[in-house]
Amino acid sequence: MAHAFRRRADGSLACRLDSEEKAIISQVAQETADLIRADLGIDRDPEVLRKAAASEDPLRRLEAEFAGQDAREPADSAVKRLFPAASEDETLAGEFRRFGQQELADGKLTDLTAVISLLDASGPGHGEVVLDDEQALSMLRALNDVRIVLADRLDLQRDGDFDTVRMLQQIGERVEEASSEDSDQVGSDIVIAVYELLSWLQESLLRALD
């Protein structure tokens, strides 16, 4: 069972998560990172690109430059929410994407990777996850990005939609009692549970930071 984030005497922030919770958060963070990479066509290690950009070989530098500028328009509905159009003016939005999307993606991927490493570092089993303020910022942004992806999968469009989804889930449970659950329902039950866990964790971190 998870325990909320709190500020410790040494200034760090800590929460307790059990092994299952850590594994689930790691998994959804990894899936979010994979989704961003796949949808935007980022299959290169940013470190490789940085090296290529500093290379003596002009062809490699050119290649790195083009790789950075190849800002593919997101196709997946969740990735669209993570990389929204910066303007209603399509020309302006396209320009913005060309110059900023790669950096934005790098930042999001860095945050997601940081969270996975932090959870790994807390060791197997029930344990404390400890963050400094910089890591707390990565955690907040990564939790939010994962929640955006889950919300898209749950088709949350407007305020209050999550309450509706949860209410329908409870009604569904009552109707389906005794009858065998279909696998779609089990899938969305898990998404709802993970979304609630992440929302609670993010809120608890915000309170601890306050």
Partner 1 sequence: MPVEQRRAGSGTSSLTDLDRSTQVDAETDGPWCTVVWNDPVNLMSYVVFVLRRHFGYSRLVAEQLMMQVHEEGRATVSRGSRERMETDVQAMHSFGLQATLERVGEG
65, 80 Cβ separation under 8 angstroms: no
| Residues recorded for the chain | 210
Is the CB of 16 or the CB of 81 nearer to partner 1?
A: 81
Instruction: Please report which residue ranges of 12-132 form alpha helices under DSSP H.
Output: 19-40, 46-53, 58-69, 77-82, 90-121
In the set 103, 120, 132, 176, which binds partner 1 (CB under 8 A)? 103
Site for partner 1 contains 191 (CB under 8 A): no
Site for partner 1 contains 197 (CB under 8 A): no
Site for partner 1 contains 8 (CB under 8 A): no
**Six-digit token string for 114:** 């940081």
In the set 92, 121, 167, 168, which binds partner 1 (CB under 8 A)? 92
Cβ 160 to partner 1 shortest distance, Å: 7
33, 141 Cβ separation under 8 angstroms: no
Q: How many other CB atoms are there within 10 angstroms of residue 142's CB atom?
A: 27
Name the site residues for partner 1 (rule: CB under 8 A).
81-88, 92, 96, 100, 103-104, 107-108, 140-141, 144-145, 147-148, 151, 156-162, 199, 202-203, 206-207, 209
